[in-house]
Each structure stands twice: as structure tokens, then as C-alpha cells.
């Protein structure tokens, strides 16, 4: 974004790294200094397109392309009015048509096509649908709700993990403290020589250490695959057991072909080829190649 | 020989068979019987490929209705060619034994670059260029234009294929890439499209992983493969990384700039078309209103392999109104692009989840989740409508739209990391947005769901149970086979100390330690005096190797080594490396002896075999852990812990050990081969590391070889090498590790064989 600059004073980001570019409703950029200078009185005309502008409407340019800034601005405004949700429509098709209509309005406003009419249309829509607009103001779309939910879950998960880690740490600290205290007590009361006590303590500390280490590594075992099958289930190597009970009885289909006898499926499967290969073809090796057309 | 594998007649094209091959086939047959998936580990050089092929081909012949196709996935073109050659041998054996020509069609498929025979196109150097050029000659609308304007250049091979080739099926036989090209030249047909068309009715297809795992390519090539196929992933120890790479997206500033150009071109083209041919846009619009029903019907009736980039709900719904017309869609892309640009302008590292990203994008530029989800599909439709000849140019915008679809489809399993600069160069701004997949099961899921049996096999898959966990599937067989040996031809040694009792380790704290580096040097020096011909040494990273070699040079160790053997070094440059390899082989060949210094996870460690005298010893300096500070890796580890209950350390060790095993496995490529495997790091002696080595290596590590000094290592090596240098004939192997049919059928041997497979 180094090569971007103010169209009026020609300063660029490269020359002045602290340059702040601003954009107003018409989508033309000016740097902060120029805005201060030109709009001392609070309003004025755009240098490039002569649209009357207010100083208070200048925003910091977020994107490289100022028209995108402008479009987003307009879009937010439009979406405030056109805030019907998918459940306001009887079918998805109508909802999509509606979305396209909204998109048209935004497109027209951004590209200055037929602005007057579009604005009129918007006003009319606003008048007609006042109730729905009011009602939907607070509602989120279903997708947004889902998103919020996911975010919430994620946060909870993180929080829980943090708490668990904290608790774990606390417990270890306590165990260590207790161990130390025990040593002091023993040194005070026991009749055994101190060297032996110290050696005992050392062993105990090492044990504790390994125990903690093990605990750290022991993660909650889940023993379920996502398919719902136990993880360490002994997998039998036998072919899948056949279900014995008679569920369905297959009756061969009788079709009158008025032609030569059709070879049995069994025969085809075992032998691969049938005697009369010109008519039946080789069912197993070359599948009938259907016309699939161009792949890419 | 003809084998009887649990009632199945298997033709095996050799006179002798290894017992583990028989055992392998048994397990394989059971997997196919159960119509389930399997994980099988068998050491390299024991004839995995031929066992797989002969069993599955026999199965196909016996039950043509149950298994219609074998899809054999391998990694590189040479490996693909090797498989086809084995297959050819097998088919010749069939022809000889049964006395009839069977109508079996098997073929290899590779990219256009390897298959093109068009004189101009095939002379291009890069795969992308070839693809682009080919597309500009063969796209349907280009060919349609030719009817109007006969001067429009088209590919005559494709034209010929389209006119004639589609009606005539490829005659039965075995085709490798060259055979396909020859056939194409003879007939004047395009071999690439011929192969792609022929895989639909071929009995065996051999191609690269990406044709199944990469959703973009799989959608083009493998979509219509029959459900009753057996899929084999050979050399699959890295399959999780392949899956992850195929779903991850990296976006840099340059991608965005190129994307900007793409969007501008799109807009101009739309403008132009609107003036000349508005009906076309209207037609597209009408289709989009109707929805993507066609693909949905096809998927439901099981004709198509599903595509993770194209989630099911999209197919059921029509494209949302916001991006239905072409102009609105371009505006949408523009906004999305500007948003990404503004995100890339950060000054600190950002890590966020997909929902956070979606919320932010809605707040900033009012883009909903739903149109984002349709983005990839909508762009494809637009590109088709606009008849853009050179798709390759539009790779940037395609990438962005794929990213949009993925980020809005998967709320879990992905993370977004934006780094303003690389860790090593914090002053140079080079912002990258990593959209990284953390769950390999997403990419491979359609494969497991669609195909009846999927076999994952490699020489190094230990520990076996981790693969089903990270790929999230349920295998019916998991087995690891050991090598039966007439003599112990591999000798794994763990060197833990130098002669001065300094502990050897590549851990971070002792990286710069001169004592360790000197002892490593000593080890190499001593070994170079003892081992004949070639030695391959692996380091944990390029940086580490450079440091060590520089320091050896200063200490004069290199000079001493060079008295014994020549030294060659692998570098990051592919041409340099292949040169070094060639010279290394020459030096081994003429008796001068050579040492190749290379890097674990590098090119040499993955694809190149050092048979016989090319690798008499492999020395692994250090444990090849990945760079653990990378944020992508950290995010993945966290995900593994939370979702799959795999501990960070476990995974890191597993990953390091599979690479170590790959490296040392380079030396033993068969039963007559022999080699030393020296693990020079004291951490290898620990049970958690050792236990993750493949069983066929673990078996030969005894307690006496766990914590050796350099001197002891030399003593043991001398002893081992002297033993191995004794003449070794085939008769010595017979009956033990090499069986004739009679021996195989003896009661005693069958008993033994059942013990080879190690079930987990």
C-alpha cells in the first residue's frame, strides 16, 4: 500500500508513513491534512466529483480500493432497511430473488446508475415494510446464530482447558509443599539419622515427580472412533459373519426375452467369457463404456 | 508358482517365495473378503508390490463381480513405472501358465507433461505451462470456434481421439507411460486423454496419490471410478501430510496481486460479453437459479466420488441470490479480496479459528457465510461461461475461491494463521495467510467412504494404531510383518556416547557443543575406515548439517575422512543433489568409496534406494524432529490432542521416528543386501523412541547395543561386516527365508507363517 497517496497533495505512504487516508460517501480519497484544510467549515465539495460532502462523514480508508469502502458503507445502510430473513419467505427461491434485488440496489448506488429511482424504491420499500424492518432489527440470520454458537463453544472450551491447567498446577504445587513439610516434620521428630531421612525424601520426591509427569501425559482417553466404534475393540479377522436368519427370499426375475437364452450370472462371473462372445460381450472385464463426454 | 491362499488360486510369477509374502497375501485376502480397509506394514525389499498385485489380480479373476478394479497409488513416476513392470511380469506368467491371452487392461496415468505427444506443447518445461497450453488447444469452445474459423489452432491428436478414439476401447494389455505414448503416436490419438478415458474401464490403474487425494484433481480424474474398487496406497507412511497439504491454502501478497489482475480481467470479459453475447450470461443465470442439481443426482446415485471442497448441502441448494449474476459475483470477489488484503496488512501474528474469521468478514465487508460457501462452484461456472482459454492464469483467483469455500464449510479442523514476516527475517515484511488443515481425515474421508477396500501399506508404518486414529477410519486388518532372514543382515546400533563419555545428542542445548560435534566427526571417521564402499549419513536439518560440516572442517576431521572416502553433500538444489548422487554412485562403483551427507525429510531420504554396496552403513546423526516452533505445527498438535487424544510428544516422536526409519531403511533393499544402521543419539535408547521403530528393525536391537561408545560401535561393525562378507548363496536361504512350493506347503512352515504377521 506504499504507492497509495493523496490525489490532492500527492503525498504517499512511502514518503509519510503516518499518512492517513480518508474516504467519504462518494468514494474518493483525501489525506487527513487535506480534509482538515478543505473542510474547515464542516462541509464542502469533493475535489474530484464535486459532490457536496460533510466533514463528519469522512472515514479512515480501510481498503486499498476506495470504491470498496464506499460500497461497504452503502451496503451497511441498505442492509439496515432490507433486513428480511430467509424465514420471512415461503420458499428459498423467493428469498434468493430478494437477495438479488438487494444486490442490484447496492450495485446501482455504488456505480451511480439510476440513483434517484433506486433511492425512491428504497424509500417506498421502507414505508411498506416498516413492521418487518423493526421486528428483524434485533434478529440475526440463522447462519450468524450458528456462528455465534460456535464461537461461544470455542470460548468455553478454551476457558475450560485453561482452568484445568491451572488446577493441575495448583495441585502439583500443593503436593510438593506437603512433601517438603513432611520432611521437616520427620527431621524434627524422627530418631533416624538425617542422612537416611534425606535419602528417603529424595526417593519420594522423585516418585512424586514421575507421578506428576504421568498425570500430565495422561489425557482423557476417548475410546470411540467418530463412527461410534470402540477404539481398542479386538478386531476379528474372520470374514464378516453372515446373518443366519432368513430375512429376504430372492426370487429370480422371469423375463421373456424371445431370443437366445441369457447366460447365468454365475457362469459369467466364474468363467469371465461366455462362449458366444460376439453377442454377450465380456461383462466382467470391460464394462460397457458409456458416453461420458469431455472430462474437464 | 501357483499358490493356494485360503482357497484362492494365486499365480505368483517367481519360482520362490518369501514366507512373509505368503503371510501378507493371507492378510490381504481376508481384508478383501471382509470388504474393509487394512493397514499393512512389511519391510522394504521383501516384494510387497508383487504380492499385492498377484493377490488382487487373482481375486479379480476369481470374483469379477466383487472387485472390479484395482487403483494403485504410488508417489513418484519411477515408482509407478516399477509397478507397471512388475505387473507386466505377472501377466506374462499368466499367459504362459494358462496358455490364453487374457483381456486384462492395466495402465499408468500421469500428468500431461509426462504424456503429451504434441510437438510444441510437450517441449514446454513446466507442468503448469503444458497444462495451460493443452487447455488452450482442446477446450470445448476453442474447438467450437474452429467450425467458424478454420485457422484456429487445435491439437490434432485430441481431435483424432475425440473423433475415433472414444468409440474404440483401448485394446487389452499393460501400458506404462511410454507404451501409451507409442500407442498414441501410432494411432494419432492424445495419450493423456486416452488414458484418462480408459481408466474408467481398465482393470488396474496405477497413478499418483494426488489423483485421489487432492480434491481439485480427484474431481476431474477419479470422480467416476467404480465403487467396487480396491485402492492401494503404497509407501503411505506420509499419507497424512499429503492429505493436509492438499487441503491447505497459503496466500501471500503476490497471490492477492495476481488475483486482483484476474478479477479485473473477469470484469472486462463480462463487459465485453455483455455487449456481444448477452444470451450466454442469461443462460448461465438461468442454470444457477435452478441449482447444481445434476451433480447432486450423480452423487446420490453413487456415480461420483464426493469432493470435500464441494459439500453436500451446496448441491441440494441453488446458488444464493447475492452472487447469482456475474457482475454481483465479481463485486463480491472484489470485496473479499480487499478484505484479505487488509488482513495481510497486520503487524503481529494472528491466529484465529474459522468462525472468528467469518464473523469478522461479516462485520467488515458484509459477506455472509452462505455465498462464501458457493464461491468455488460459482467461479468455475463463470470461467466456463466466459470461455477463458488459459485456466492456468486464473490459478490465483481459483485458490482464493477454494479458500472461501473451505473456510465457510469447515468450522473445525482448520486454523487461520497470519504471519507478517518470516521468523528468521523479522525486518522484511512478507505477510502470509496460512489456512492450514489440521485434520488429515477430511481429505481422505471420501476415499474411505466410497471404495470398498482401501489398503495402506509401507515399509515403515509403526506404530500401526496411530494411522487409523489420525485418518479416522476403522481397519479390519492391521498387521506388521517381519523379515525372515537366513542370516541377520541388518545391524542396528545405538551410539550414545563418544570415546570420552560425552553423551551424543542433537537436542537443542547441545547443538553447538564442540564435544558432541567432535564425537560425531570421530564416529564418521572411524566408520569410514571400517565400512567398505558407500556410507550414507543423515542429519536432522540443512542448517544443522552446515554447522557441523563447517566445524568438522575447522577441526580437520573432514581432511582425515577424505583419506578414506570421498564426501558428497545433498543441497536444497535438486540439480546439484542429483549430480552429487551420480558422482557418489560412481565413487562406490569404482572402489574409492564415498560418503553422502544428506538430510532426513530431504529428497534422498524419501525416494532413493542405496542397494548393496551403495549403502553399507547408514548413520543417523540425531533424532529428526520437525521444527517445533512453527505455529502451524503447534496448532496441529493442539488439535490432535483435543480431538484425537494424541499427546504432543507422542506425535512428535512418532513423526521423528518414522523419518528415522525411512532413512535407515534406505540401506536394506532385499534379503541378500546387508547394512549397518547406526543411530547416533542417546535418546534412541529410550523405550518410547525405540518402541516406535518398525518391528523388523526393533527385533534386531538387543540390550547389548543400546548405549555404545564409538569404539564399541567400531568393534561390533567390524565383526558384523566380516560375517556378512562371507559368500552367501541362494541355497543358504532356501527353506528358511526363501521357499519353494513344496516347502511352503509343509505343515511346519505354515505354522511358522502364521506367527509372522504381528497383529496389533
pLDDT tens profile B359-409 = 899 988 888 888 898 888 888 888 878 877 666 678 899 899 989 999 988
Instruction: Tell me: pLDDT of A276 over 60.
Output: no
Instruction: Tell me: pLDDT of B299 over 70.
Output: no
Q: Regarding predicted confidence, which is higher, A141 or A169?
A: A169
Contact assignment for A100 to B317 by CB distance below 8 Å: no
Mean pLDDT of chain B: 87
Packing angle, helices B557-564 and B542-555, rounded to 10: 90
Phi, then psi, of A40 in degrees rounded to 5? -60, -35
Q: Which of residues 2-41 of B touch A (CB under 8 A)?
A: 27, 30, 33-35
Contact assignment for A219 to B641 by CB distance below 8 Å: yes
Q: Does B339 touch chain A (CB under 8 A)?
A: yes
Q: Residue A275: which pLDDT band, with cuts at 50, 70 and 90?
A: very low
Instruction: Tell me: pLDDT of B710 over 80.
Output: yes
Res A11: pLDDT? 86
Res B526: pLDDT? 95
Contact assignment for B65 to A284 by CB distance below 8 Å: yes
Q: Residue B256: which pLDDT band, with cuts at 50, 70 and 90?
A: very high
Res A279: pLDDT? 45
Q: Residue A294: which pLDDT band, with cuts at 50, 70 and 90?
A: very low
Q: How far is CA B394 from CA B255, B259, B265, B388, B399, in A?
A: 11, 8, 10, 9, 9
Res A241: pLDDT? 53
Q: Where are the domains of chain A?
A: 1-60, 132-215
Exposed, middle or buried by CB within 10 Å (0-12, 13-18, 19+), for B103?
A: middle
What does the buried/exposed string (b/e) look like for B27-45 if buried means 16 or more CB atoms within 10 Å of the residue's CB? bbbbbbbbbbbbbbbbbbb
B685-701 average pLDDT score: 89
CA-to-CA distance for A107 and A91, rounded, in angstroms?
25
Weakest mean pLDDT among A200-209, B191-200, B266-275, B692-701: A200-209
pLDDT tens profile B178-191 = 999 999 999 889 99
pLDDT tens profile B134-143 = 888 887 777 7
Percent of all residues in chain B with a pLDDT value above 70, rounded to a whole number: 96
Quote the minimal CA–CA distance from B649 to chain A in Å: 9
Quote the minimal CA–CA distance from A100 to chain B in Å: 4
Contact assignment for B342 to A62 by CB distance below 8 Å: yes
Instruction: Tell me: pLDDT of B718 over 90.
Output: yes
Res B760: pLDDT? 53
Q: Residue A7: which pLDDT band, with cuts at 50, 70 and 90?
A: confident
The answer to whether the complex's ipTM is over 0.90 is: no
Q: Residue A154: which pLDDT band, with cuts at 50, 70 and 90?
A: confident
Res A283: pLDDT? 44
Neighbours of B317 (CB within 10 A): 17
Among candidates A1, A225, A283 on the partner chain, residue whose Cβ is nearest the Cβ of B345: A1
Q: What would the DSSP string read from start to end of B203-241?
A: SEEEEETHHHHSHHHHHHHTTT--SSEEEEESSGGGHHH
Q: Does A117 touch chain B (CB under 8 A)?
A: no
Res B554: pLDDT? 94
Q: Residue B301: which pLDDT band, with cuts at 50, 70 and 90?
A: low
Contact assignment for B200 to A102 by CB distance below 8 Å: no
Contact assignment for A286 to B472 by CB distance below 8 Å: no
Contact B196, B109 (CB under 8 A): yes
Q: Residue A278: which pLDDT band, with cuts at 50, 70 and 90?
A: very low
B99-117 average pLDDT score: 87
Q: Does B647 touch chain A (CB under 8 A)?
A: yes
Highest mean pLDDT among A268-277, B27-36, B166-175: B27-36
Percent of all residues in chain A with a pLDDT value above 70, rounded to a whole number: 79
pLDDT tens profile B317-368 = 778 888 888 889 999 999 999 999 999 988 889 999 898 999 899 988 888 8
Predicted model pTM? 0.81
CA-to-CA distance for B457 and B9, rounded, in angstroms?
23
Number of separate helices (H) and strands (E) present in chain A: 9, 5
Instruction: Tell me: pLDDT of B275 over 50.
Output: yes
Length of chain B: 760
A122-141 average pLDDT score: 84
The matching CATH number, chosen from 3.30.40.10, 3.30.420.40, 2.60.40.1930, 3.40.50.10790, for A1-60 is 3.30.40.10
Contact assignment for B478 to A62 by CB distance below 8 Å: no
pLDDT tens profile B580-609 = 999 999 999 998 999 999 999 888 887 788
Q: How far is CA B172 from CA A292, B147, B198, in A?
A: 20, 35, 11
Instruction: Tell me: pLDDT of A122 over 70.
Output: yes
B462-466 average pLDDT score: 85
Res A293: pLDDT? 42
Residues 6+ apart with CB under 8 A from B714: B526, B527, B530
Instruction: Tell me: pLDDT of A289 over 50.
Output: no
pLDDT tens profile B720-758 = 999 998 888 877 788 778 888 888 888 777 777 777 766
Tell me which residue has cell 497413478.
B207
Res B522: pLDDT? 94
Q: Where on the phi/psi map is residue B678: left (φ > 0), alpha (ψ -120 to 50), or beta?
A: beta
Contact assignment for B224 to A289 by CB distance below 8 Å: no
Which residues in chain A touch residue B104, judged by CB atoms under 8 angstroms apart? Answer: 285
Q: Which of residues 38-97 of A touch B (CB under 8 A)?
A: 62-65, 68, 71-72, 75-76, 79, 92-93, 95-97
Amino acid at each position: 500500500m506504499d504507492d497509495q497517496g493523496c490525489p490532492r497533495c500527492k503525498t504517499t505512504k512511502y514518503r509519510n508513513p503516518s499518512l492517513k487516508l480518508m474516504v467519504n460517501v462518494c468514494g474518493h480519497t483525501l489525506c487527513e491534512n487535506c480534509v482538515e484544510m478543505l473542510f474547515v467549515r464542516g462541509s464542502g465539495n469533493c475535489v474530484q466529483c464535486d459532490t457536496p460532502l460533510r466533514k463528519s462523514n469522512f472515514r479512515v480508508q480501510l481498503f486499498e480500493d476506495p470504491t470498496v469502502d464506499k460500497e461497504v458503507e452503502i451496503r451497511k445502510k441498505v442492509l439496515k432497511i432490507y433486513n428480511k430473513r430467509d424465514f420471512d419467505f415461503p420458499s428459498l427461491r423467493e428469498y434468493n430473488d430478494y437477495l438479488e434485488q438487494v444486490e442490484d440496489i447496492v450495485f446501482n448506488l455504488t456505480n451511480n446508475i439510476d440513483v434517484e429511482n433506486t433511492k425512491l424504491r428504497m424509500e417506498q420499500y421502507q414505508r411498506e415494510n416498516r413492521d418487518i424492518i423493526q421486528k428483524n432489527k434485533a434478529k440475526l440470520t440463522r447462519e450468524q446464530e450458528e456462528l455465534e454458537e460456535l464461537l461461544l463453544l470455542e470460548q468455553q472450551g478454551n476457558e475450560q482447558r485453561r482452568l484445568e491447567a491451572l488446577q493441575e498446577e495448583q495441585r502439583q504445587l500443593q503436593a510438593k509443599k506437603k512433601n517438603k513439610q513432611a520432611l521437616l516434620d520427620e527431621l524434627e521428630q524422627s530418631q533416624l539419622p538425617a542422612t537416611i531421612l534425606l535419602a528417603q525424601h529424595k526417593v519420594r520426591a522423585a516418585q512424586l515427580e514421575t507421578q506428576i509427569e504421568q498425570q500430565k501425559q495422561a489425557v482423557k482417553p476417548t475410546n470411540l472412533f467418530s463412527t461410534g466404534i470402540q477404539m481398542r475393540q479386538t478386531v476379528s479377522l474372520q470374514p464378516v459373519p453372515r446373518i443366519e436368519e432368513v430375512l429376504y427370499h430372492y426370487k429370480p426375475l422371469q423375463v421373456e426375452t424371445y431370443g437366445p437364452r441369457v447366460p447365468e450370472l454365475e457362469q459369467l462371473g466364474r468363467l469371465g467369457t461366455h462362449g458366444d462372445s460376439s453377442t454377450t460381450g465380456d461383462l466382467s472385464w470391460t464394462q460397457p463404456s458409456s458416453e461420458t463426454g469431455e472430462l474437464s | 508358482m501357483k499358490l493356494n491362499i485360503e482357497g484362492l488360486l494365486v499365480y505368483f510369477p517367481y519360482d520362490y517365495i518369501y514366507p512373509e509374502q505368503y503371510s501378507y497375501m493371507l492378510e490381504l485376502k481376508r481384508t478383501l473378503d471382509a470388504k474393509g480397509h487394512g493397514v499393512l506394514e512389511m519391510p522394504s525389499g521383501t516384494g510387497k508390490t508383487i504380492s499385492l498385485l498377484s493377490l488382487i489380480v487373482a481375486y479379480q479373476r476369481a470374483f469379477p463381480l466383487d472387485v472390479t478394479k484395482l487403483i494403485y497409488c504410488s508417489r513418484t513416476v519411477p515408482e509407478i513405472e516399477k509397478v507397471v513392470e512388475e505387473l507386466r511380469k505377472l501377466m506374462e506368467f499368466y499367459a504362459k501358465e494358462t496358455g490364453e491371452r487374457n483381456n486384462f487392461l492395466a495402465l499408468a496415468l500421469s500428468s500431461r507433461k509426462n504424456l503429451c505427444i504434441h510437438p510444441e506443447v510437450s517441449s514446454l518445461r513446466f507442468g503448469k505451462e503444458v497444462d495451460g497450453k493443452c487447455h488452450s488447444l482442446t477446450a470445448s469452445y476453442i474447438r467450437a470456434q474452429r467450425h467458424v474459423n478454420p485457422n484456429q489452432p487445435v491439437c490434432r491428436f485430441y481431435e483424432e481421439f475425440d473423433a475415433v478414439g472414444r468409440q474404440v476401447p483401448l485394446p487389452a494389455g499393460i501400458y506404462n507411460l511410454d507404451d501409451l505414448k507409442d500407442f498414441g503416436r501410432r494411432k494419432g490419438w492424445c495419450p493423456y486423454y486416452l488414458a484418462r478415458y480408459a481408466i474408467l474401464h481398465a482393470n488396474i490403474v496405477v497413478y499418483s496419490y494426488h489423483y485421489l487425494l487432492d480434491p481439485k484433481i480427484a474431481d476431474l480424474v477419479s470422480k467416476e471410478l467404480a465403487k467396487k474398487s480396491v485402492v492401494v496406497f503404497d509407501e503411505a507412511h506420509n499419507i497424512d501430510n499429503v492429505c493436509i497439504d492438499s487441503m491447505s491454502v497459503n496466500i501471500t501478497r503476490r497471490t492477492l496481486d495476481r488475483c486482483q489482475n484476474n478479477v479485473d480481467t473477469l470484469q472486462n470479459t463480462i463487459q465485453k460479453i455483455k455487449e456481444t453475447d448477452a444470451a450466454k450470461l442469461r443462460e448461465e443465470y438461468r442454470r444457477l437459479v435452478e441449482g447444481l442439481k445434476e451433480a447432486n443426482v450423480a452423487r446420490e446415485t453413487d456415480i461420483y466420488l464426493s469432493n470435500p471442497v464441494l459439500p453436500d448441502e451446496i448441491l441440494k441448494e441453488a446458488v444464493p441470490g447475492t452472487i447469482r449474476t456475474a457482475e454481483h459475483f465479481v463485486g463480491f470477489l472484489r470485496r473479499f479480496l480487499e478484505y484479505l488484503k487488509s488482513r495481510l496488512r497486520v503487524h503481529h501474528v494472528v491466529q484465529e479459528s474459522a468462525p472468528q474469521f467469518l464473523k469478522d468478514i461479516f462485520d467488515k465487508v458484509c459477506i455472509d457465510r452462505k455465498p462464501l460457501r458457493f464461491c468455488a462452484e460459482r467461479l468455475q461456472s463463470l470461467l466456463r461461461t466466459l470461455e477463458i482459454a488459459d485456466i492456468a492464469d486464473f490459478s490465483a483467483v481459483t485458490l482464493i475461491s477454494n479458500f472461501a469455500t473451505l473456510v465457510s464449510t469447515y468450522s473445525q479442523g482448520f486454523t487461520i494463521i497470519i504471519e507478517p514476516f518470516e521468523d528468521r527475517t523479522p525486518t522484511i515484511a512478507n505477510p502470509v495467510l496460512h489456512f492450514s488443515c489440521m485434520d488429515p481425515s477430511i481429505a481422505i474421508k471420501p476415499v474411505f467412504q466410497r471404495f470398498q477396500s482401501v489398503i495402506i501399506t509401507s515399509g515403515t508404518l509403526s506404530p500401526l494404531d496411530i494411522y487409523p486414529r489420525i485418518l479416522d477410519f476403522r481397519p479390519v486388518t492391521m498387521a506388521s510383518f517381519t523379515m525372515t532372514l537366513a542370516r541377520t543382515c541388518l545391524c542396528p546400533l545405538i551410539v550414545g556416547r563418544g570415546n570420552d563419555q560425552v553423551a551424543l545428542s542433537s537436542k537443542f542445548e547441545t547443538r553447538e557443543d564442540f564435544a558432541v560435534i567432535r564425537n560425531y566427526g570421530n564416529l564418521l571417521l572411524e566408520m569410514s575406515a571400517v565400512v567398505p564402499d558407500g556410507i550414507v549419513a543423515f542429519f536432522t536439518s540443512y542448517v544443522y548439517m552446515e554447522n557441523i560440516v563447517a566445524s568438522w572442517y575447522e577441526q580437520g576431521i573432514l581432511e582425515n575422512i577424505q583419506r578414506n572416502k570421498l564426501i558428497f553433500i545433498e543441497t536444497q538444489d535438486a540439480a546439484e543433489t542429483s549430480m552429487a548422487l551420480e558422482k557418489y554412485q560412481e565413487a562406490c562403483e569404482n572402489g574409492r568409496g564415498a560418503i553422502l551427507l544428506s538430510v532426513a525429510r530431504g529428497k534422498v531420504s524419501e525416494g532413493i534406494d542405496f542397494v548393496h554396496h551403495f549403502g553399507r552403513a547408514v548413520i543417523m546423526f540425531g533424532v529428526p524432529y520437525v521444527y517445533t516452533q512453527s505455529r502451524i505445527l503447534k496448532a496441529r498438535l493442539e488439535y490432535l490432542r483435543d480431538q484425537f487424544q494424541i499427546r504432543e510428544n507422542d506425535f512428535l516422536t512418532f513423526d521423528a521416528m518414522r523419518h528415522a526409519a525411512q532413512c535407515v531403511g534406505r540401506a536394506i533393499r532385499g534379503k541378500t543386501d546387508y547394512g549397518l544402521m547406526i543411530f547416533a543419539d542417546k535418546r534412541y535408547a529410550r523405550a518410547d523412541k525405540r518402541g516406535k521403530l518398525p518391528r523388523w528393525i526393533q527385533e534386531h536391537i538387543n540390550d547389548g547395543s543400546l548405549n555404545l561408545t564409538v569404539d564399541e560401535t567400531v568393534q561390533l561393525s567390524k565383526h558384523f561386516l566380516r560375517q556378512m562378507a562371507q559368500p552367501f548363496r541362494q541355497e543358504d536361504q532356501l527353506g528358511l527365508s526363501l521357499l519353494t512350493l513344496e516347502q511352503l506347503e509343509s505343515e511346519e512352515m505354515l505354522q511358522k507363517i502364521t506367527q509372522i504377521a504381528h497383529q496389533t
